[in-house]
Structure 1
């Protein structure tokens, strides 16, 4: 089975907003065994939408369209659907009742004609009730292809996908099972990993595919299996992951999309009743941001000092001026002093410190651009290491964040 996803809106085409809807829909379809054939973004012109629907008609089984369902004049999707299906708009009493309840009951204002028009839907459409907003979704069929129109507002779209669209697709179509397992690795590059697991990869069963998903400091290995028997797929992937553990177990930190290193690290800190703080210069607070992105981080994360300027290192973290003068602000000695000070200020078991030149200019040090010192204080022990993460600036910062978290993970793993 194949599906196409179409997002409508000039605001996406001019870069004003980022299309996150397509990624959410694609994941939801993949989970129920529907392959996404393509993802398109088109303008909100009626002729463009019509041409796109006509072009997709013989290609795919499902077309999901988001956007263009609002109350304003530039929202033309309903009219286009009527034209494409040779239909007419009619007022749906259930949708109108919902719109009135929302506008008059929740927002406490009179309903306008523009609000009433939200209840207009093509007469042949199956209405997908939108409890999160006023614009309903629509399900229509033509020549064995299902066309689904959803609001572009992300939380409304997500509700309709989860509670209306996916259940209806599961009921209508017989689909193969698709099972994914993502292995999260840190601290080794894609090419080195590929060399280590080459024989294993070459001997994977035909129904299991491997994809490398690299990003600065981390590589995700995604195993995907497709077939008619779900449990067989799960068992097969589990067996391959066991083999993978024997080959690169030292760099595997977790599994699946939710098992990022910050999630795994948070679980480890909680289990061992450890606390952590950060003192950041070149990473600008991004380590703290990453750690606190995990629900429940307040149990172990105590605080951060973003000492970007040299003066902040001296005045807030109390790094001695003579230490900076002797070794430079980008040095192992200063990184260590920053980490010790953060540990003392926040009274934690562990502290991370970063200082470096992320570029493009060198700042207050003559160290090469891309140079970063990462210091870890673990109770009484201090570990510091120098790295050169190259360029550009964004890459340096991302790699420094990932490397710092990886180093903490490894130290905890050694001790517990």
Structure 2
């Protein structure tokens, strides 16, 4: 079963916002054996939307639309759908009551424009949206299924989870594939490929390996293709066999095979061990702390951080000696070590990490150019420091430094708690 996504909105085409809905939808459709073959971003224009719908209907059996269902004049998806399906709008009384109750709950007067939220296509089955005001719509025409969803991510996810996916999961024509991902860190893509080359060469033709690199990490994805002759349990066994073989070759760089992030794995392991973490950041400006605190429950492990951007703050808050900075500079192994020991003592943590460097675009020296970063980690019995030389792009350097710090801390905790 093939599906196509139509993402409606000028704000995406001009780069004002990033389309995160499509990746979420693709991942969840893949889990139930629905293959997304095309993704189109369409402007807020009636004719453009109608044209995109016609093209999608010529090649896909399922069309999922997101965006353009709001109450403002720039939301024209419903207008395009009226013309495309040759139908009209009707007021759904249950949706209207729901919208009115939302405004009453917050003691706000409902603007007349929000009445439009209760208007749905006469030929549509209403998908009730308990996460917002705009309902979803499910339409069947000429054996093609259309799901029309709001673009707000929380509302789209609710309707996909509770309405669209259950409908699609009951349909025939799906071929469920097996996927397995392995998260690695601390090893580059080319070195990783060379290390696991014997396993990759031994893969049967119905199992494919993909490399998905990002800052300081590479996620490996093993997936089965169409046309195989094994049942689901046999496929899972085959994929798990090769995944285990890969993991055995990279014990130092293997993080998980659960789809979790590096920071999630780090925090959950630390929590199980009963330890705490603190951070001292300079060039990353708190980005390490941001990554850590995206994990629900991080407060059980992460005590806090000191963003010591200025040298005076390093000295006053982290007990970095003035003579250390004067002799070795603020971007040095000596400074990084004093920072990490200082924050561990100050916040009374079991483990700590420090990051100091030249993120750019200015700064740096001939000996230590932009992109030079020192990271130190300390734990129960030892302190480890490493010098990195990244690149010249400030944003990349910040992300890579924070990710490298996560990995170094993860490795130290793993080594000290075998």
Where on the TM-score scale, by shorter chain, does this alignment land: which range? over 0.9
TM normalised by structure 1 equals 0.94
Q: Does 1:30 align with 2:30?
A: yes
Deviation at 1:210, TM superposition (A): 1.0
Q: Does 1:296 align with 2:297?
A: yes
Deviation at 1:111, TM superposition (A): 5.2
In the alignment, what sits opposite 1:13? 13
Give unmatched runs, 5+ long, in structure 1.
Answer: none
Q: Does 1:337 align with 2:338?
A: yes
In the alignment, what sits opposite 1:169? 168
Quick one: distance in 2 between partners of 1:128 and 1:372?
A: 51
**Pairing of 1:228-377 with structure 2 (within 5 A):** 229-258=231-260, 260-362=261-363, 367-377=368-378
Q: Deviation string for 1:8-59 (max 9, x for gaps)?
A: 1112222222212212211221111111111111111111111111111110
Deviation at 1:300, TM superposition (A): 1.9
Would the aligned equivalents of 2:280 and 2:353 in 1 still touch at CA under 8 Å? yes
Deviation at 1:109, TM superposition (A): 5.0
TM normalised by structure 2 equals 0.93
Q: Does 1:399 align with 2:400?
A: yes
In the alignment, what sits opposite 2:58? 58
Deviation at 1:242, TM superposition (A): 1.2
Deviation at 1:254, TM superposition (A): 0.9
SS of 1:178's equivalent in the other structure is coil
Deviation at 1:363, TM superposition (A): 5.5
Quick one: distance in 2 between partners of 1:261 and 1:118?
A: 41
Deviation at 1:81, TM superposition (A): 1.5
In structure 2, the CA distance between the partners of 1:61 and 1:107, relative to structure 1 (3 Å rule), is same
In structure 2, the CA distance between the partners of 1:331 and 1:20, relative to structure 1 (3 Å rule), is same
Deviation at 1:185, TM superposition (A): 0.6
Give unmatched runs, 5+ long, in structure 2.
Answer: none
In the alignment, what sits opposite 1:39? 39
In the alignment, what sits opposite 2:146? 147
How many residues are treated as equivalent by the alignment? Answer: 414
